[in-house]
Structure 1
Amino acid sequence: MPTKRHTLSILGGLALAGGMLLTSAAQAADQPRVKLATSMGDIVVELNPEKAPKTVANFLQYVNDKFYDGTIFHRVIGNFMIQGGGFTPDMQQKPARSPIPLEANNGLKNNTYTIAMARTAVPDSATAQFFINVQNNDSLNAPNPDGHGYAVFGKVVSGNDVVDKIKAVQTGNAGPHQNVPKTPVIIKSATVVK
């Protein structure tokens, strides 16, 4: 026959487990998802505002402003990454907002199917452009050889096959730009879906 203490221990354990489940559910609810509807299919990314709050807020602002609609994946390196979010199909760069602080040292890694912010050699230079890693790119993690790294802020949760199709397209040069898809891969729209 269970004692009062034993019953209280069981109830306490159940309450703790229930609280952990609620916390996990709340954290999942706080991770917005964005659908990139591309000319090759849909990619859904789940963002991590807990680890990269400024980067996620910046990306979502561009999404909500419809900035990415009609841009392309302008740089595709099949054994590295696919980069987009800054150029139109005729390779005109869109004017972006001010750069954001680098959040590369957040514990997230540039692993296959993660999304990260593109930047110049200057650490705090990321604006609108992003890339999706198509392999584990440890050299991009903080601190990387330049001492900084690239800020991962989410991961692909649907559309890995689309990423794989994009990474396999034929590329060439377009003016001063290298690794440009010969047939534009257009981001028709970017929308928050959760």
Structure 2
Amino acid sequence: MVCVFLSVSPLVAAKKDDGSQIQPDNYYPRVKIETTMGDIVVELDRRRAPITVNNFLRYVDKRAYNDTIFHRIVPGFVVQGGGYTSDFNGKSNFPDIFNESGNGLTNDLHTIALARQNGPHTANRQFFFNVNDNESLNPGRDWGYAVFGLIVEGSDVVDAMSEVETEYSIRLNANNVPIEPIVIKKVTVLPPL
């Protein structure tokens, strides 16, 4: 009989840096978005949109939303931001994530969702608030836009944002850009309830 003894050395796990390490046991973390028009508190839904919430928290943890703007305001539709500085310089992104639009959450009034390009899995940092019930953004025959939380304080701030005057921007080559920049001064994770 041959006995074999295996020496097992303790493995040091690399610290996760994908957002999942932020309040890992909290399925509904809250973030405070401080803007030049007022503060907004959003409750995120990690149970239904874990990839999207962790991605968002990763940007918050890196302070990557600080000093960005809401660059797209469409009255009765969306207030979008998080991707550009007030000089319209694009911010760097982490890799695109899987689209969780089929999670059961819908693009209803005062929810937060992740913006994306035309491809279904092209979302990374930009987010938007729905300022209407936007059924056209929900999944159907095509992929929708992943909702990952809702406004719990400051819906009046977002409603006021949706009514600011906008114009065409040559720098962004886009319509619906606020004439007076709405700056996201700081985004922080709030302590658990």
Question: TM over 0.5, yes or no?
Answer: yes
Pick one of 105, 122, 127 that aligns with 1:125.
122
Pick one of 15, 30, 55 that aligns with 1:58.
55
Structure 1 portions without partners, runs of 5+: 1-27
Under a length normalisation based on structure 1, what TM-score does the superposition of the two structures give? 0.83
Q: Which residue of 1 aligns with 2:88?
A: 91
Q: Which residue of 1 aligns with 2:143?
A: 148
Which amino acid in structure 2 is aligned with residue 166 of structure 1?
M
- Within the alignment, does 1:35 sit opposite 2:63 as a pair? no
Return the offset for 1:29.
Answer: 5.1
Return the offset for 1:90.
Answer: 1.1
Q: Which residue of 1 aligns with 2:168?
A: 173
Return the offset for 1:30.
Answer: 2.8
Q: Deviations over 1:7-54 (max 9, x none)?
A: xxxxxxxxxxxxxxxxxxxxx953000000000000000000000000
Q: Which residue of 1 aligns with 2:17?
A: none
Q: Which residue of 2 aligns with 1:158?
A: 153
Q: Deviations over 1:131-180 (max 9, x none)?
A: 0000000010112x5x1000000000000110011001000011112100
- Distance in 2 between the 1:49 and 1:132 partners? 17
Q: Which residue of 2 aligns with 1:105?
A: 102
Return the offset for 1:79.
Answer: 1.1
- Secondary structure of the residue aligned to 1:178 is strand
Q: Which residue of 1 aligns with 2:4?
A: none
- Choose 1 or 2 for highest CA Rg: 1
- Distance in 2 between the 1:100 and 1:134 partners? 24
- Secondary structure of the residue aligned to 2:184 is strand
Moved runs in structure 1, 4+ residues, more than 6 A? none
Under a length normalisation based on structure 2, what TM-score does the superposition of the two structures give? 0.84
Relative to its length, the structure with more helix (as a share) is 1
Q: Percent identity?
A: 48
- Distance in 2 between the 1:139 and 1:30 partners? 27
Return the offset for 1:189.
Answer: 0.3
Return the offset for 1:88.
Answer: 0.4
- Distance in 2 between the 1:106 and 1:182 partners? 35
- Distance in 1 between the 2:89 and 2:160 partners? 24
Matched pairs, number: 165
Q: CA RMSD in A?
A: 1.1
- Secondary structure of the residue aligned to 1:43 is strand
- Within the alignment, does 1:134 sit opposite 2:131 as a pair? yes
